[in-house]
Amino acid sequence: MKQFSRFALPYFIWMAVLVLVPLLFMLILSFMYSQGFDLKDAKFSFDVIKSLFRPENRYYWEAFYNSMKFAFLATLICFLIGYPVSYILSRSKIQNKNFVLLILILPMWSNMLLRLYAIENLILPKSILNTIGISLNFHGTTTAIVVGLVLMYLPFMIFPIYTVLEKIDKSLLEASKDLGANDIKTFFKVTFPLSLKGVTSGVIMVFLPCAMGFVVPERLGGGKILLLGNIIEEKFKKTGDFNTGSLLSLIVIIIVLGTLFIISKVDAEGETLL
């Protein structure tokens, strides 16, 4: 056991330096007024929190609403596409299932920015599709953002669901049919409830990065649509308002931890979640 703890020491140091220390800085900056990271003349203040509720800063909440809206739409579409794909794949009798899974996972092996640039080049007014007489031309729209999020995170919905569907005992499905249930009733009464663990995992893995990301909206939205991740990036990189940026980041972290806490709480009560 001591040998394992010795191997784990670098991991804990890494976590402390790159996770705990930045979190501590964000917590301090959220409740203090300071000039950037210079804490010499910093003063404890609730002004940063109060600034979120000023009329001129209403766009913070609009960005939060946009983030939740796009995340919900992208997650819903990923589920509507991902579940049928996972179900068909798990029920298919093809011998080369692993090859199909490899095709689905291949895009995830490439750099995220490369995939993003590829999607962006397809939806620009002048793209490679023009050579065959097709012009999508919806760059800078809400549709572009949702499509981009779906294409980026769809595999994260497919694989958890597929894994759970593969593990379902086939004898349960046969027993359901022996008791007189047809295929549709068997699906809704047996298959779907047993696959909820995969669905929930997929929803979390898609919703959280969609809600908190800023690269996809920035590139595909053309900077026209404001999201919470974009504001945080702007506060840290452009305006140097580390206090507001830290507070908004803290809100994001609370949302993420709150979501995971609720799921772990439900799971502890015996539900099929994580």
DSSP string of 188-203, one letter each residue: IIIIHHHTHHHHHHHH
Q: What tokens does 207 get?
A: 């919703």
Judged by DSSP in three states, 13 sits in helix
Check if the beta carbon of residue 150 is closer than 8 Å to that of residue 202. no
Mean pLDDT of 146-166: 90
Structural domains present in the chain: 62-268 (1.10.3720.10)
Judged by DSSP in three states, 202 sits in helix
Confidence of residue 150 (pLDDT cuts 50, 70, 90): very high
Q: What tokens does 104 get?
A: 């689905």
Residue 36: the pLDDT is: 58
Judged by DSSP in three states, 273 sits in coil
More confident residue, 108 or 271: 108
Alpha-carbon dihedral angle through residues 184, 188, 191, 193, given to the nearest 10 degrees? 180
Check if the beta carbon of residue 196 is closer than 8 Å to that of residue 242. no
DSSP string of 135-152, one letter each residue: ----TTSHHHHHHHHHHH
pLDDT tens for each residue of 47-59:
778 888 888 888 8
Beta bridge partners of 35: 38
Residue 15: the pLDDT is: 78
Confidence of residue 272 (pLDDT cuts 50, 70, 90): very low
Quote the Cα angle for 261-267-271, to 5°.
145
What contacts 196, CB < 8 A, 6 or more positions away?
271, 272, 273
What contacts 132, CB < 8 A, 6 or more positions away?
none
* Res 204 pLDDT > 70: yes
pLDDT tens for each residue of 221-243:
777 788 888 888 888 887 778 88
Check if the beta carbon of residue 214 is closer than 8 Å to that of residue 232. yes
Which of 1-10, 50-59, 149-158 has the lowest average pLDDT? Answer: 1-10
H/E run at residue 225: none
